[in-house]
Homo-oligomer: A and B are copies of this chain.
């Protein structure tokens, strides 16, 4: 049965669409092997490159995963993901962040400058800053890269930070509070495909998207103090926020 495809719209897209449909309908269950490229060629009467383009689409949609020498398996649509809790808890003078993760490597502290998005979110223009990079892992093996940017003027105000910029974010919150600030946090979330080095750092096999969040810690009157950046594989993690009925986020952009 050569269930041939017609011309008009790109054939590899049509084929990808049909396969995606079949997966959605459960004709191919998660974990199943899809028909091999040769079988798909024969079944739909198209060439190998066309089949490969279609399967590439499925991969990029996160619906399938190819294994060299074995076949292409259907990925479970609702992949078991770890929830990264983005809430902050305060008990007395101590702060706790929601996600329980450990440092896979020692934090790397460098001196750099605020640039681009970083500069904009910190409301500073090319200023010197401490940059602390961490690689985090949780019990399930989910990885995330975490970068804290501490402008020099803030580190100057809070000597504790200048001495040891590589302290936990929770401890940084505590230090800033001890310095007399009432803290507010605003978090911006977006997603994109990873750059090669990001994919390597997160040990991503597939080419799926990463979640990118920017957390701005500011004073009560809106002066940004520090910036945290978290990158993680969207196929493995989702972020959790508690939303409270409150004042609106100050217009940032």
Contact = CB atoms under 8 A, between A and B. Distances in A.
A241 B211 contact: no
Interface stretch (A85-93, A105-113, A147-155): A85-93
Copy number in the complex reads: 2
Given A60-B60, A189-B238, A234-B191, A17 B196 contact: yes
A103 B195 CA distance: 35
Contacts of A116: 77-78
A252 B240 contact: yes
Contact of A241 (B96, B190, B243, B251): B243
B240 A187 contact: yes
- The secondary structure that dominates the A interface is mixed
Given A60-B207, A77-B116, A78-B117, A190 B239 contact: yes
Interface residues of A, number: 62
Interface in A63-105: 63, 77-78, 81, 83, 85-90, 95-96, 98
12 contacts: A83-B251, A87-B243, A87-B247, A88-B245, A89-B248, A90-B245, A185-B242, A187-B240, A188-B238, A192-B234, A193-B209, A208-B209
